[in-house]
Structure 1
Amino acid sequence: MPVEFLSDQEAATFGHYGDSVSQADLELFFYLGDGDHKLMAQAKLRGDQNRLGFSIQLTTARYISRFLADPLDGVPTEVVDFLAGQLGVADPSCVKRYARRGPTRREHAGKIKKALKLKDFGQVEAELAAYVGKRAWVTGDGPKAIFTDAVRWLRERDVLLPGVSRLARLVSREREAATRRLWDTLYAALSEQQVRELDDLLACRQVGGFHRWRSGARGRCRVGGRQDRRADHFGPARRARCAARRPCRHLG
């Protein structure tokens, strides 16, 4: 599905490598420590291609918080060379043989996930939805800022990132719910007199393709859409509120 608040480039690169990895990130995310070597020894890897392929999956999960369907998909050359150098693999191109063995890749990903105690998105989805809803309610931030913060929240809890559309839908849904809750809270706080005054202030009549307000200003609006029907259901004050929220181009 389209991700409206992300650019095409942002959506396409989500959960993938960029064009390159900096030296600082290589040393931070792709350095194989004692724990990594111990894990690889326990996996009883045979051959340079399996040792290098396993290390790529391990550090990819650490760097982008995902396992790639193809473990070599978009992995920059500097990453492969950096890992091969640490493992003493003379010919890094041998890893291409690893990419062709699906069962081996999946078995290794399972071992890495267990060793690093990585969680699936479904295990924390409800908790994240609550967090996103509260953040949208308190801050009023836009969807992109909340989306970025949701990614940070997942990474801090060692959760494997879902697809971009799934996460974007969650953010959009919870932010919309927070917005509806805000409007409902404000509307409920109005006295009957305030409701009547707002109705009188914002009352309008349709003239051709325009809504003409009592002030005399005109704005071209879409009529008969979902917001209009929903507003009619809730009465004049809600109708005024929905009309005010529709994008209009005032023509004077």
Structure 2
Amino acid sequence: MFSEEQLAQLRSFPEISADELIRYFAPTAADAAFVSPGGRVPADRLGMLVQLCTLPWLGFVPDDVASAPSAAVARVAERLVAAAAALRLYGKREQTRSDHLRLIAKYMEWQTAPAGSQAMKELEQFLLDRAMGRDSPTLLFNLAREYLMAAKVIRPGALVLAKMVGTARKAAADLSSQLVGHLLTAEVRADLERMLVVDAGLGMTRLEWLVSPARDASATSVKTAIDKLTRGVG
């Protein structure tokens, strides 16, 4: 469903636009004060503030915080009057990053979605509902991401969410079969099968012909459109 390359991209920082830079990487004085209690070294303050700005931008924070866009890091460093290069020293321990993210989530009133939580159950239902009318894995993944961001829920890992999308697609397909199965009589099935056979007169399958859009507004195109309506799937 998703290649390793696609999953890697979904786990990483994307390129940032000028609008996103201004919107998300403009920490307030209160934000700077939050990450600057006594005793916290510059690298930790900078890394924590980069995480704080990244969360509402992406809905999650990539593990490699130091790979954040350089323009974004520069804006955050300027707020802290710190050297942007200090970010390279941040988060050598995974526990440091996760502890900081937990503090940030509480400060920004976001929540996590551990396995079995109510948030995950609601996400599963959301995906099933959307999968009933949409089959694209990428579209469903993006819809889930937008849903989680609107609810201020930190996005699960890319692989976890990808598997949830796959589960939702299968469940939607099974449910659709249950709902319309009784309508698929032998005659209807035969008609549908005929739509997949190349028609010598058309030079393509009936299905391709029916869904092909008109090329222009000529009389021939109008006649073809009417012909499609009258011939249907018969």
TM-score of the superposed pair, with normalisation by structure 2 = 0.70
Residue 45 of structure 1 contacts residue 51 of structure 1 at CA under 8 Å; is this kept in 2? no
Q: Report percent identity of matched pairs.
A: 24
Per-residue CA distance 1:154-183 (angstroms, 9 max, x = gap): 111111112222111111211221122112
Match for residue 10 of structure 2? 14
SS at the partner of 1:128?
helix
User: Matches of 1:107 and 1:144 in 2, distance apart?
Assistant: 31
Give the direction of change, closer, same or farther, for the CA distance of 1:184–1:59 in structure 2 (3 Å limit): same
TM-aligned CA deviation for residue 93 of structure 1: 1.8
Which structure has the greater CA radius of gyration? 1
Matches within 5 A, 1:203-214: none
Q: Does structure 2 retain, via aligned residues, the 8 Å contact 1:133–1:174? A: yes
Query: What amino acid does structure 2 have at the position aligned with 1:10?
Result: Q
Per-residue deviation at 1:198? Answer: 5.5
Deviation of 1:53 (Å): 1.9
Shift of 1:153: 0.6
Which of 166, 173, 176 pairs up with 1:172?
Answer: 166
Residue 24 of structure 1 is aligned with which of 13, 16, 19? 19
Query: Which stretches in structure 1 are left out of the alignment for 5+ residues?
Result: 203-212, 219-252
> 1:80-105 CA distances to partner (integer Å, 9 max, x unpaired)?
2111112212x322333333355543
- Contact preservation (8 Å) 1:16, 1:64: no
What's the secondary structure of 1:121's corresponding residue? coil
2:35 is the counterpart of 1:33: no
1:136 and 1:175 in contact (8 A); partners too: yes
Structure 1 residue 189: deviation in Å?
A: 4.5
Q: CA deviation at 1:140?
A: 3.5
Alignment of 1:203-242 (within 5 A): none
Structure 1 consecutive aligned stretches of length 4 or more whose deviation exceeds 6 Å: none
Please give the root-mean-square deviation of Cα atoms over the aligned residues, in Å. 2.8
Q: What displacement does 1:7 show?
A: 5.2
Contact 2:54 2:60 in 1 (8 A): yes
Report the CA distance between 1:37 and its aligned residue.
2.8
TM-score (structure 1 length as normaliser): 0.65
Change over 3 Å in CA distance of 1:45–1:180 after alignment to 2: same
Structure 1 position 81 matched with structure 2 position 77: no
